[in-house]
Amino acid sequence: MLNLKRRAIAVSLCLSCLVAEAHTQSAIPSPQTSPFYEARAKHDPDGTGMFYMGREIAQVMGAGGIAWLDRSQRDTEEHPAEVLAALHLRPGEVVADLGAGSGYFTFRMVPQVGETGKVIAVDVQDEMLQTLHQRAAAMKVTNVEVVKGTETDPHLPPGAVDLVLMVDVYHELAYPREVMERVRESLKPKGRVVFVEYRKEDPEVQIKEVHKMSVYQLEKEMNAVGLVRVRTVETLPLQHIVIFQKK
Ligand SMILES: C[S@@+](CC[C@H](N)C(=O)[O-])C[C@H]1O[C@@H](n2cnc3c(N)ncnc32)[C@H](O)[C@@H]1O
């Protein structure tokens, strides 16, 4: 338990420093542009000051965070093989890595969907998209499509996606309502949306509060866009895997 705690604190320190660096890069939505959000003057210093369904939206991690996303100890901290096992991907499937960052999960999903499948890697930051392009070329991977999304639209093809994966992303979406409505539209009838988020319920997970999500809050926000929780996997040390489908 002590080792876990030390590891969690280290993760917390790295994350907070990278978010602070990215502070000026996050676009803060105007409450006038959408009825779903509320601006509050009193808020968490790590948040944007914008609230959605009672939750404060976190600041976006900047491109300076790539080294942190690719840190060598990440495999031992986050057990990506267990995440992949929980996805049950099949050859030929179309999968979106929404908020792909530098592609930590994008390129791990490529062998799972095979040459007949595709991974659509979406991000809003040009530096992340450049890194994704460079890595796909270096690895000679032909079934990764890199897509530039906007803060309100991930630009996924409608009715065509088997699974949308969001790892450590959802809590920092500036417009979660709009993005999730587009995500829902992108799903095939039995398509799934999978979140991997740091456990807000667990005080041992020493991540800044606005960078954690509870299953309760996720469920509330997904129900609002017509998605229902079908499974929660609690095998990871610090995060939960929460899986949704269309109602
Ligand atoms: C903490 S990083 C996680 C990256 C990756 N999922 C991983 O686990 O390595 C969050 C990423 O989400 C991206 N992001 C934030 N808001 C987004 C949005 N509305 N649409 C797509 N990507 C977004 C950021 O640019 C950043 O690359």
**Residue 61 backbone phi and psi in degrees, to 5:** -70, 130
- Could you tell me if the CB of 61 is within 6 A of ligand 1? yes
Rounded distance from Cα 10 to ligand 1 centre (Å): 20
- Could you tell me if the CB of 149 is within 6 A of ligand 1? yes
Tell which atom from ligand 1 comes closest to the C-alpha of 175: 19
**Within a 10 A sphere around the Cβ of 54, how many other Cβ atoms?**
9
Query: Are 64 and 128 contacting, i.e. CB atoms less than 8 angstroms apart?
Result: no
**Does CATH number 2.50.20.10 belong to domain 74-246?**
no
Rounded distance from Cα 49 to ligand 1 centre (Å): 19
Q: In this structure, which residue's CA is closest to atom 23 in ligand 1?
A: 99
Q: Cα separations (Å) of 214 from 55, 152, 170, 238, 241?
A: 10, 23, 12, 12, 11
What is the best residue among 79, 108, 169 to mutate for testing ligand 1's pocket, by most ligand atoms within 8 Å of CB?
169
- Could you tell me if the CB of 179 is within 6 A of ligand 1? yes
Per-residue pLDDT of the chain (247 residues; tens, 9 = 90+): 334 333 443 444 345 445 434 333 445 456 456 789 999 999 999 999 999 999 999 999 999 999 999 999 999 999 999 999 999 999 999 999 999 999 999 999 999 999 999 999 999 999 999 999 999 999 999 999 999 999 999 999 999 999 999 999 999 999 999 999 999 999 999 999 999 999 999 999 999 999 999 999 999 999 999 999 999 999 999 999 999 999 9
Query: Are 211 and 239 contacting, i.e. CB atoms less than 8 angstroms apart?
Result: no
pTM over 0.75: yes
Rounded distance from Cα 155 to ligand 1 centre (Å): 14
